[in-house]
Structure 1
């Protein structure tokens, strides 16, 4: 039996999954790394050896040798903008990640670890729908300033993974039908998925509804006020907007379960904030419906907040007139990475080449 090794690095942990090529999940594990040991590295990319040793340890414990691997697939990192799909990890990808072309992030380690282990095993390494994907229509890129464009930063992997799952279960077509998908986690990615392509989406860090941690779209005057207050430099202001805003700013927590406890205990302000977040999510979904000119097969809710019946109920009341609302709570990242590699192994898809797919006009 051959196996597919899946690697998904986080800031202080590495998720590992092992699948058989027949689609059976053999083992899943989250390796927690020593935080102080990781801090000793100047750059995230320098952590690869420490993390690789832990991955090899897990394979050894499961008695899976490198000769047993069919391929290795890693979470894609902050590459140059590319279209979605399954990519062969080559040195063009590795070099751009080592150069941090779009910044440092733990996910940058995914392709590098995958290729290192795959090379030792004599097999190929892949990435699937990395966060750097950008499939937006040209008309969606325009801003009111010439030379400044909207860009895409979204949860492509989970958005496409859950949509494929819904299509399989409901008899829809991923490449022929249109959907609105809302990934609702610490940050939000909400957009129209048109015949398999995410043609527009709010930038998960810089716009859209406010979320548990993100500020969302701010009125220009408020943004200018903070930028020129003298209290923040660029880095600290971005941190405030991306990590200390949303529910955290209003209610002191990013945990929706805690917010709902406040509401049940009679906290009227918490109820108003939660309703406002639902309202903004619904507005973003409505905007996506306009992009699709009302041709929407289903609205799909995913991410951690999709577990909340209270929040989902409020959103659904606003948007159910558009299309049926379906929930896929949580995330399917590991399964989606495996499925992308499986489609290549089976010949269903051909792997894409990074250098050929870069949206060169943006770099």
Structure 2
């Protein structure tokens, strides 16, 4: 059997894909199809040993986008015909209380993922479109769903429960599910390898900082808390999402601004966070604005770091001490300033970053704390595609 897995991450108007060799842990090819359904779409395809291929062409729907991706793979010698791949692994954002393991996709599973769209209306419907298109184009290959919420399925009841009427919560599936679980699980496992210590002996804080951002407390390999909740809106300040706010703000906006549910949804998910505070959600641009003296950008950054430090402090107490704090994802991996500011002044807690190590441009997983620091601080590049590919292979092997 082939050890290659095609990993697909489908958004509402975009589609990311990667062909992963599970044995070697390498990406043989990857690509991004954007602006699906618009007048002109964009395709960028990268293979290991070639220049990127870029196209601008109308892409009618996700099925057309996938066909383009398959054409790109074929052109670069990565055919998906026959038994060239073992499985297709699909990222699915919300698994609810039903799905907490990688799951072989059947028509019944699809119905359940669709039912869970009520809990993730911005994500699950887009994931479904990608799955349906891929199943049509590759009907002979097993398709596996890997859920963002799975790693947090076993959260302690005290961490998973909202303090609202329990019957209402039960009837409507209201609890804390957590997201970015594939990344948090992968990164926490990598930390153990980098430190040369057993995973089941480490107390960790993992900070997944990208356009979407989340923190997790991982004790001995199991998540005991995470910043995102029933939806990916709770928690840290993000690119366009507000993170934690007083729920009373929602009622206030309804009554005072006459905003309906959809308008409030758009505000909190699309027009808040860094973008809402300073007009831009690209962290590089926010830094440029700060350097040019923009006070709104400075405030946005300060709010971002303040919230981050609050979660770090809370998780240090919840874990009863911490062995490792790890930064990952786009901002976490690429912003030495955020890493330094998030942990500034914590030397009395055994946390101290080495400035040269922190400023290094290395892309490798590495320790950036000083040698004798009690708490190890790391930068570990996440690799959700590899994690999904490995989970897909394990799923079909167990089936």
Question: Which residue of 100, 108, 128 maps to 2:146?
Answer: 128
Asked whether the 8 Å contact 1:212–1:248 carries over to 2, the reply is: yes
Match in the other structure for 2:126: 106
Match in the other structure for 2:235: 208
Structure number with higher relative contact order (C-alpha < 8 Å, ≥ 6 residues apart) = 1
Match in the other structure for 1:50: 64
Match in the other structure for 1:137: 156
Distance apart, 1:78 and its partner CA: 3.1
Match in the other structure for 1:66: 82
Residues 174 and 340 from structure 1, CA distance in 2 versus in 1: closer, same or farther, beyond 3 angstroms? farther
Question: Which residue of 219, 233, 244 maps to 2:260?
Answer: 233
Residues 184 and 27 from structure 1, CA distance in 2 versus in 1: closer, same or farther, beyond 3 angstroms? same
- The whole-number CA distance in structure 2 between the counterparts of 1:114 and 1:174 is 36
Residues 318 and 189 from structure 1, CA distance in 2 versus in 1: closer, same or farther, beyond 3 angstroms? farther
Match in the other structure for 2:96: 80
Verify: 1:152 aligned to 2:177, yes or no. Answer: yes
Verify: 1:324 aligned to 2:376, yes or no. Answer: yes
* Mean CA deviation greater in 17-26 or 310-319: 17-26
How big is each residue's C-alpha offset from its partner over 1:281-329, in whole Å with a ceiling of 9 and x where there is no partner? 01112112222122x2211111221111111110021556363221235
SS of match in other structure, 2:216: strand
Residues 276 and 78 from structure 1, CA distance in 2 versus in 1: closer, same or farther, beyond 3 angstroms? closer
Question: Which 5+ residue runs of structure 1 have no aligned equivalent?
Answer: 40-45, 352-363
Asked whether the 8 Å contact 2:250–2:264 carries over to 1, the reply is: no
Distance apart, 1:336 and its partner CA: 1.8
- The whole-number CA distance in structure 2 between the counterparts of 1:280 and 1:343 is 37
TM-score (norm 2): 0.74
Match in the other structure for 1:276: 303
Match in the other structure for 2:323: 297
Asked whether the 8 Å contact 2:184–2:216 carries over to 1, the reply is: no
Asked whether the 8 Å contact 1:4–1:72 carries over to 2, the reply is: yes
Residues 291 and 84 from structure 1, CA distance in 2 versus in 1: closer, same or farther, beyond 3 angstroms? farther
* CA-atom RMSD in angstroms: 3.0
Distance apart, 1:128 and its partner CA: 2.5
Match in the other structure for 1:8: 9
How big is each residue's C-alpha offset from its partner over 1:261-300, in whole Å with a ceiling of 9 and x where there is no partner? 1222233443343123112101112112222122x22111
Verify: 1:28 aligned to 2:30, yes or no. Answer: yes
Q: 1:181-260, aligned counterparts within 5 Å?
A: 181-203=206-228, 205-260=232-287
SS of match in other structure, 2:303: helix
Residues 231 and 304 from structure 1, CA distance in 2 versus in 1: closer, same or farther, beyond 3 angstroms? farther
Aligned residues: 338
How big is each residue's C-alpha offset from its partner over 1:146-183, in whole Å with a ceiling of 9 and x where there is no partner? 22454223111222122222222222333443311111
Q: 1:324-343, aligned counterparts within 5 Å?
A: 324-329=376-381, 331-343=382-394
Residues 94 and 83 from structure 1, CA distance in 2 versus in 1: closer, same or farther, beyond 3 angstroms? closer
- The whole-number CA distance in structure 1 between the counterparts of 2:225 and 2:165 is 19
Residues 266 and 60 from structure 1, CA distance in 2 versus in 1: closer, same or farther, beyond 3 angstroms? closer
Distance apart, 1:259 and its partner CA: 1.6
Asked whether the 8 Å contact 2:203–2:324 carries over to 1, the reply is: yes
Distance apart, 1:243 and its partner CA: 1.3
- The whole-number CA distance in structure 2 between the counterparts of 1:34 and 1:344 is 31
Residues 111 and 285 from structure 1, CA distance in 2 versus in 1: closer, same or farther, beyond 3 angstroms? farther
SS of match in other structure, 1:218: coil
